[in-house]
């Protein structure tokens, strides 16, 4: 006697079969985990951006204590000379923690009008002051000057108030030999009035 075999179950579920409760629960868990991960990553990125931007603004606001301003005229100085001057300045600034600001004379020619090209040092210093408002000292150094003793810091050798006062040449006529206007009066001395000078009438317009 033969018995009919039971029909085999298909290994492929029907296309529109209802998902089981376990698979639906798993999908909800994965979705929740993805949302939480996105939120955590967003918070971490925001915090890192906040701290990085804060540290950058602090460094810009503080700035270097001393900025060395050197204006280089490519029309009158050779490339080799300019490179040697820059290296001399960089070695000195690195030793004392200063910053070099190298400017080109050609950048300021449009604002000089008919003034000599050497006057480019004035807008160059103002340019450096704009870029580094948190710095304390701005020291212009001629491109023809060479730092011979790099161990001497500017802050104590020149820029200190008492040291600078002792180095300044005082009570010198602006227009030699006997100009009424003097550059700096010594402490405790009052300047002479213009009309008390014996030749003051010679300076008056006719």
If asked whether residues 139 and 165 sit together in one domain, one would say no
User: In the numeric block, which tokens belong to residue 144?
Assistant: 């023809």
Using CA atoms, how far apart are residues 196 and 52, in angstroms rounded to an integer?
63
pTM beyond cutoff 0.85 = no
If asked whether residues 124 and 169 sit together in one domain, one would say no
Is 36 contained in some domain? no
Q: Quickly list DSSP for 68-137.
A: EEEEE-TTTS-HHHHHHHHHHHHHHHHHHT-EEEEEEGGGTHHHHTTS-GGGGHHHHHHHHHHH-TT-SE
If asked whether residues 140 and 71 sit together in one domain, one would say yes
Give how many domains the chain has, as a whole number: 2
Alpha-carbon 140 to chain mean position: 16
Q: CB-hemisphere CA count at 13 Å for 153?
A: 12
If asked whether residues 73 and 141 sit together in one domain, one would say yes
Q: Low-confidence residues of the chain, pLDDT below 50?
A: 50-60, 191-206
If asked whether residues 101 and 142 sit together in one domain, one would say yes
Is 93 contained in some domain? yes
Using CA atoms, how far apart are residues 30 and 53, in angstroms rounded to an integer?
34
Interior CA angle at 186 toward 182 and 187, to 5°? Answer: 140
How confident is the model at residue 6, as a pLDDT?
A: 58
If asked whether residues 140 and 157 sit together in one domain, one would say no
* Residue 129 lies in domain: 66-148
- Closest by CA position to 154, among listed 105, 206, 199, 100: 100
How confident is the model at residue 36, as a pLDDT?
A: 75
How confident is the model at residue 171, as a pLDDT?
A: 78
Q: Are strands 99-104 and 137-140 parallel, antiparallel or unpaired?
A: unpaired
CB 67 within 8 A of CB 159: no
Cα–Cα distance list, 47 to 95, 123, 176 (Å): 35, 40, 64
How confident is the model at residue 158, as a pLDDT?
A: 85
How confident is the model at residue 34, as a pLDDT?
A: 76
CB 68 within 8 A of CB 141: yes
Is 199 contained in some domain? no
Q: Single out the residue in 125, 148, 171 at which a domain terminates.
A: 148
Q: Write b or e for each residue in 27-43: b if 16 or more Cβ atoms lie within 10 A of its Cβ, otherwise e.
A: eeeeeeeeeeeeeeeee
User: In the numeric block, which tokens belong to residue 23?
Assistant: 């698979």
If asked whether residues 114 and 162 sit together in one domain, one would say no
What is residue 178's DSSP assignment? T
């Amino acid at each position: 006697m033969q018995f009919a075999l039971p029909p085999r179950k298909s290994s492929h579920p029907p296309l529109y079969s209802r998902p089981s409760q376990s698979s639906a629960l798993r999908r909800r868990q994965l979705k929740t985990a993805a949302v939480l991960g996105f939120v955590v990553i967003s918070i971490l990125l925001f915090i890192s951006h906040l701290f990085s931007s804060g540290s950058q603004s602090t460094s810009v606001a503080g700035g270097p204590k001393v900025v060395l301003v050197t204006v280089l005229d490519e029309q009158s100085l050779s490339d080799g000379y300019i490179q040697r001057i820059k290296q001399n300045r960089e070695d000195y600034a690195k030793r004392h923690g200063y910053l070099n600001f190298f400017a080109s004379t050609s950048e300021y020619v449009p604002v000089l009008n008919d003034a000599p090209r050497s006057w480019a040092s004035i807008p160059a210093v103002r340019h450096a002051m704009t870029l580094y408002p948190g710095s304390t000292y701005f020291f212009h150094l001629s491109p023809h000057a060479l730092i011979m003793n790099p161990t001497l810091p500017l802050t104590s050798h020149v820029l200190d108030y008492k040291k600078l006062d002792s180095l300044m040449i005082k009570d010198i006529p602006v227009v030699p030999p006997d100009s009424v206007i003097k550059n700096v009066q010594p402490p405790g001395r009052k300047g002479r009035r213009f009309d008390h000078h014996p030749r003051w009438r010679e300076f008056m317009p006719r």
